[in-house]
Amino acid sequence: MGQRGEPRRVHAYDGELGAAVARAQEGDEAAFAVAYRLVQPGLLGYLRGLVGDEAEDVASDAWLEIARDLRRFRGDGAGFRGWTATIARHRALDHLRRQKVRPRPTALEQDVLDLPGPHSTHDQALEKLSTEAALALVSGLPRDQAEAVLLRIVVGLDGPSAARVLGKRPGAVRTATYRGLKRLARQLGVEAVTDDAPRTLGEST
């Protein structure tokens, strides 16, 4: 359970990811490749929301640091997703400081947003997003909302994990996510956003 009784978000592949990370920490290069394959799509989608077309370069820098510091990591598959997102965010902010531009939410990869059936209006809103629509809609969100949506929906972190990445309280991240999704839903013509937690690719219920 997360803070305040919030269920920890679990992906169908988190067990496989945790096992792969453990083997990679022992020097298994094939296991590291498995971990990369499982984490990279969400991580890249998140970085696209921060640095746009520079996402792949920033992701490469992040993975170099991840590989270097892998033995220091302690945790399971879900924890590894949060840890890698934190590293990626730091590298993205470093990149943006070098470029002297503000973070700009941009296109989200459609395959990352290809969610399961519409069980809440969060899902309904996101399922209507194409890459082009995401570029227009997410770029219009305030930065805190855009980044919260990216971490919760694209990377698939729970509220406390996303809060740790952003250095904020879980309640603030939950509120930002809700407001961001509510705004997207309104623009997409979905009547209302429910209080159901948003789900993401591969998440179990």
User: pLDDT per residue over 148-184, tens digit each?
Assistant: 888 887 788 988 999 999 999 999 999 998 898 888 8
Answer positive or negative: Cα dihedral of 92, 97, 101, 103: positive
Q: What pLDDT sits at residue 153?
A: 79
Among candidate residues 172, 155, 170, the one with its CA nearest the CA of residue 17:
155
Residue 111 domain flag: no
Instruction: Return the residue matching tokens 């919030």.
Output: 6
DSSP secondary structure letter of residue 198: P
Q: Tell whether the model's pLDDT for residue 21 goes beyond 50.
A: yes
Whether 47 maps to a domain, the answer reads yes
* Total domain count, the chain: 1
DSSP notation for 114-137: --SS-SSHHHHHHHT--HHHHHHH
Residue 166's domain comprises: 10-103+128-188
What is the tens place of the pLDDT at every residue in 32-62? 999 999 999 889 888 888 888 889 999 999 9
pLDDT digits (tens, 9 = 90+) for 56-85: 999 999 999 999 999 999 999 999 999 999
CATH number, residue 45 = 1.20.140.160
Query: Looking at the DSSP assignment, which residues form a beta bridge with residue 11?
Result: 203
- Identify whether 26 is part of a domain: yes
Helix (H, G, I), strand (E, B) or coil at 11: strand
Other residues' Cβ atoms within 10 Å of the Cβ of residue 31: 17
Residue 79 in domain: yes
Q: Specify if 52 maps to a domain.
A: yes
pLDDT at 23: 97
- pTM score of the predicted model: 0.70
Domain annotation covers residue 156: yes
Average pLDDT, the chain: 76
**147 in a domain, yes or no?**
yes
- The C-alpha torsion from 201 through 91 and 101 to 98, rounded to 10°, is -160
